[in-house]
Amino acid sequence: MTKFLKRSGAALLSLVLLCVLAIGAGAAASQTVGVKFWKERSDKESMANTGVDSDRTATLTHQANGTYTLTLPVKQVSKMGVTGSLSGLTIGDVTYDGTLTGDFEKGTAVLTIKNLPASVLTGSDVNRSITVTCNIQMDMSLLGELNTTARMCIWNKK
């Protein structure tokens, strides 16, 4: 009887571990998303949209700690003849700096922003969007960081 209980316990423990691993792997799954910025209190598009490469795919990955990682294909943005790029987002009082990889000239630049709260997944309706400050790093040291407040929608593209 003791061997039977040990074997049953080991089989049950193996099954539980397998389920935990399967759920953990599913939690980190990426989904293709759409990202759009509007001017705050307006239905006009924000300047930040010119920095997002809509010809490539953005992804949102749910992390095990409950936050999200946004992988956003970016391109250079121009303002008054000066070029720059998106460098992160500020939601409330928290700034989420991104990591830029790839090359603008080759059209492979990607901005990765980690630890975004679950509230970023808003749906495509501008009325459900969240207010963010888009941090744009300009090339001229005189201008430095240019920030523009906008409303952001991120939704699952199926």
Domains of the chain in start order, with CATH, are: 29-156 (2.60.40.1850)
What stretches of 1-144 adopt beta strand conformation (E)?
A: 30-39, 58-62, 68-73, 77-79, 82-91, 94-101, 110-116, 130-138
* 54-63, 90-99, 136-145, range with the lowest pLDDT: 136-145
For residues 101 and 112, the answer to whether their CB atoms sit within 8 Å is yes
Q: Is the pTM of this model over 0.85?
A: no
Please report the pLDDT score of residue 23 as a whole number: 46
Q: Could you give the CA distance from residue 72 to residue 95 in angstroms, rounded to a whole number?
A: 16
pLDDT in tens, 38-54: 988 778 888 899 999 99
Summarised one tens digit per residue, pLDDT across range 59-97 is 999 999 999 999 999 999 887 777 889 999 999 999 999
| Angular region, 120: left φ>0, alpha ψ -120 to 50, beta rest | alpha
Rounded Cα distance, 53 and 42, in Å: 22
Q: Other CB atoms closer than 10 Å to residue 152's CB: what's the count?
A: 21
